[in-house]
Structure 1
Amino acid sequence: MSKINRRDFLASTATFAASFSIVPSNVIAGLGKIPPSDQLTVANIGCGTQGLREMGSLLQNPKVRVVAVCDVNKFSTDYIDWSPHGIRNDIRETLGDDTWWEGKPGIPGGRDIGQEYVERFYAKNKPSGKYKGCASYEDYRELFAKEKKGIDAVKIMTPDHTHAPIALAAMDQRMHVVTHKPIANRLLEGRKVIQKAKDTGLVTHLLAWSDRPEYRQIKAWMDSGLIGELKEIHNWSYRPVWQQWTKRPSEAQAIPEGLNWELWLGPVPDIPYHKNYTHNVFRGWYEFGGGSVADMGHYSLFPLFETLGIDRSPVSARAFGTTTREEINQVYQWVKNDVAFPASCTIKWNFPAQASLP
């Protein structure tokens, strides 16, 4: 058999997405069962809460080797998460070390933590107990320039507004791409990413998605004629589950040491730094996130559309959001909010006829 380039092999098979699936720990007896030359080399871009939360499944997958991490934040303990010890406990379980982060305050994140996580995990399977094979970068462009020959794929775990620029740059370097939802923070950017994937023929995969067997049950009822003609679909979410503001911060704050604010902004025009933009609160701002729909639509709407065969775009949309007032000189005034998503909203889409729907 003639030798073929591993990236070309990946692009011609469906094994790539499967290689990122979670492998039960009892299946993995340690590295070495799959030669390093046959492992997928991956760069993990984004080492915040979700990036670290999902890194354990990458590390425990014997088909994958994480060779680089990247984050514009070097290290800090001021991340915001859904529980005080969830990230810490996930890392402890993956490392098999109940003392990791013992006695330390706050919720950690940043590229230093990502690099430590990777190297401590792989060190477990080295006779010496040491491992130094994970590069660390502040700027994804430098990562691509220096590591492009050694990386098969990138996993993008950054805030929403930088998903598209990183994905496009990775595909320019012929790297396969896994992107956490959403594809982009602007429709134009999303279309460019999709077109680039088509043009290059690279393997791309969008996280996240969840199987919904109840949707298939609904479809079976519809096919049997039990509920008549489908006229409306109602979908709920309790999002947002992050702090939500109606105005930009007015006070100035110093950029924390170790955070490259210019790189964090990426394609967004310059805005003065404030902690209310970063670390798990970015999604509520127009510039940085897509609000509740971009956060949860991939879980509930996408599999619903897929199951029912809704693939033609809506012809119209209307949105209704909550508003508020503030007291100014003893008089309530409307708060003009043109920077962030509302605390709650209703969105109505009208779709044309689909292949099997009115």
Structure 2
Amino acid sequence: MKNPEKLSRRDFVGTAASIAASISIVPSHVIAGLGKVPPSDQITLANIGCGTQGLREMGELLQNPKVRIVSVCDVNKYSEDYIDWSPYGIRDNIRSVLGDDNWWHNTKGIPGGRDVGKAYIDRFYQKNSPSGGKNSCTSYEDFRELFAKENDIDAVKIMTPDHTHASIALAAMDRGIHVVTHKPISNRLLEGRKVIEKAKSSGVITHLLAWSDRPEYRQIKAWIDEGLIGELKEIHNWSYRPVWQQWTKRPSGSETIPEGFNWDLWLGPVPEMEYHKNYTHNVFRGWYDFGGGSVADMGHYSLFPLFETLGISNSPISAKAYGTTTREEVNGVYQWVKNDVAFPASCMIKWKFPQQASLSPFDLFWYDGGMKPFAPLELEMEGKDTPDEGLMLVGTKGKILGGFRGENPVLLPETKMTSRPSSERIDSSKIDRSSTTWVHAIQSGTQTPGSFTRAQTITDTVNLGAVTLRSGKKVDFDPSALNITNDNEANKFLTRDYRKGWQI
């Protein structure tokens, strides 16, 4: 064992099981019987990223007695210039969790940053902990300093922009810390592969938050297995996203870096560039450097659990995409703008998938920005159109239609459902989507269904979509050799040029 003076709580918990029989203490189940979770049974968590989504999801963690947030990290200290789809949604959620209707009463915009995260956490524990929350949450600007100084962290939740997910996850796993991250695992295919390999070799518990248990998909699989749509040939998935600003070229001019905002750390692995507000906060998603586009933002939610349910574990072997183009006026003449820096306002992507364990080769189609497939004959005959968002599976003998994540799935034409058992009619609005899967997994030492180790196909898929968009042509991909075989120039989009000290 380590020197007792240097033994951290995490080290102690890891070795305590082997010596517990020789120590006479009050059992944790006795404390639990009093309605409390003993501190030794709580997962100590560092929350990295205190922007809108980081704060939005923080309340659920605070109210989970099995979790204790002990540290926060964000490159932004505090500002009131965040962007969200609701002006008061996050504020009202925090007020509800804290039981304080005055929270943020004097702010001029949507606040965010590590000071907000720390204040939120400290206030909650002061009101709800038996000790009065005497142990204040620590706060850091740099995740590397957090990992160097905090020795008692069991898990980290990564809520930063996409381009830094891989760096933070790898640093955590190097230290034996469990990792929970928002999608994507990375916004570069080769980075994603390295993170996944590290997850396999390190043995830590990992979880991609886009995973969810979807009984709708199990029903869809049952219909496919029964042969009701014949051989699966196509999967179509479409979203009205993006909801954030899309760009057509780099911003012009320079802006002053806001006080308390570490632009150098925000850039992370991305090569040097001038600060501009149009890169940061929620609008980062539209840039090739920093985001993954709509397919990374939303496609993870619909496709990751679908891949898992249908047994789609072999990555796509090609991809082709079309995106909207832009023109601008220059000296009275409208010219086409070559956009090589940001995702288009809308696009269509087609991937070819090889043979799977129980599926023949098929094509996957993605649509966003208002694009969607035309209504099939089965819908036209009923005077219906495809919904604004949806999922459709096309086989040689029939089709299945559902909401974006397969909600309320039906066989087409829907008249087929009249002869099916009523149990096959799923009302998705009545399904409890709350999940503490990763919390239970960490406590039990088992991987989650949303583990990084199961996410290679979805990670390859969304990042290959970005590659074909950027290359402007069809790309053939060798998942084993990890290269584009028909266009050597496109291979540069599988990775990035790294700043010194940030290489992966």
Report what 1:299 is aligned to.
301
1:140 aligns with 2:143: yes
Report what 2:241 is aligned to.
239
Deviations 1:10-39 (A, max 9, x none): 9xxxxxxxxxxxxxxxxxx9x971122221
Q: CA deviation at 1:153?
A: 0.9
Count of aligned positions: 336
Instruction: List 4+ stretches of structure 1 deviating above 6 A.
Output: none
Report what 1:52 is aligned to.
55
* Residue number among 308, 311, 325 corresponding to 2:310 in the alignment: 308
Report what 2:444 is aligned to.
none
- Letter matched to residue 343 of structure 2: F
Cα 1:139–1:240, aligned 2, differ >3 Å: closer, same or farther?
A: same
Higher relative contact order (CA 8 A, sep 6+): 2
* Residue number among 74, 85, 88 corresponding to 1:85 in the alignment: 88
- Letter matched to residue 96 of structure 1: G
> Aligned-residue CA RMSD in angstroms?
2.0
Output aligned runs, 1:133-212, within 5 Å: 133-147=136-150, 149-212=151-214
CA contact (8 A) 1:41 1:65 kept: yes
* Residue number among 34, 37, 53 corresponding to 2:40 in the alignment: 37
Output aligned runs, 1:64-75, within 5 Å: 64-75=67-78
- Letter matched to residue 66 of structure 1: I
Report what 1:334 is aligned to.
336
For residues 137 and 326 of structure 2, what CA distance do their matches in structure 1 show? 49
Residue aligned with 1:281, SS: helix
* Residue number among 122, 133, 136 corresponding to 2:125 in the alignment: 122
CA contact (8 A) 2:285 2:292 kept: yes
Unmatched segments (≥5 aa) in structure 2: 1-9, 18-31, 361-504
Q: CA deviation at 1:55?
A: 0.6
Report what 1:6 is aligned to.
13
Report what 2:223 is aligned to.
221
Identity across matched positions, percent: 78
- Letter matched to residue 200 of structure 1: S
Residue aligned with 1:66, SS: strand
TM-score, normalised with respect to structure 2? 0.64
Report what 2:102 is aligned to.
99
For residues 55 and 79 of structure 1, what CA distance do their matches in structure 2 show? 17
Q: CA deviation at 1:348?
A: 0.4
Q: CA deviation at 1:125?
A: 2.6
Larger Cα-atom Rg? 2
CA contact (8 A) 1:120 1:131 kept: no
For residues 81 and 11 of structure 2, what CA distance do their matches in structure 1 show? 46
For residues 88 and 75 of structure 2, what CA distance do their matches in structure 1 show? 23
* Residue number among 99, 112, 116 corresponding to 2:115 in the alignment: 112
Unmatched segments (≥5 aa) in structure 1: 11-28
Q: CA deviation at 1:9?
A: 8.9
